[in-house]
Amino acid sequence: MKFQLNSRDLGNIDKINDSSKLFAILVGIMGKLRSPDGCIWDREQNHKTIKRNLIEETYEAVESIENDDYEGLKEELGDLLLQIVFHSQIASENKKFNISEVMRSIIKKLVRR
């Protein structure tokens, strides 16, 4: 999934209600962070170095559910989504799979059930 970051969109992020556009922006940001002129820390990460984040964010989402904290849950689900996009970006760079394949896989799984 290719997406060109548009500073106008980023400046108006609160006005965008199209979830596919917001998702494309998120994927584009992760691609930028992992690019040669992106964030050094993000570029250095691999599946193993960030696997703990996936677990931590899951526990934080569960805690928000247990506390009926919907603002917290919204934030933690966003953090989980970031982890999915991050792992998918790493996999894509390693030519294993990409975010579209992840989404296609879950859609097919849901249809089979």
Average pLDDT, the chain: 94
Domains in the chain: ranges and CATH: 7-112 (1.10.287.1080)
Query: What's the whole-model pTM score?
Result: 0.90
How confident is the model over 3-23, as pLDDT tens digits?
556 666 677 899 999 999 999
Confidence (pLDDT) at 12: 86
Closest listed residue to residue 32, CA positions, set 85, 79, 106, 94: 85
Question: Which whole number is the average pLDDT over 80-104?
Answer: 98
CA atoms of 38 and 29, how far apart (whole Å): 9
Question: Which whole number is the average pLDDT over 86-107?
Answer: 98
How confident is the model over 55-88, as pLDDT tens digits?
999 999 999 999 999 999 999 999 999 999 999 9
Question: Which whole number is the average pLDDT over 25-34?
Answer: 97
Confidence (pLDDT) at 1: 47
Band of residue 109 on the pLDDT scale cut at 50, 70, 90: very high
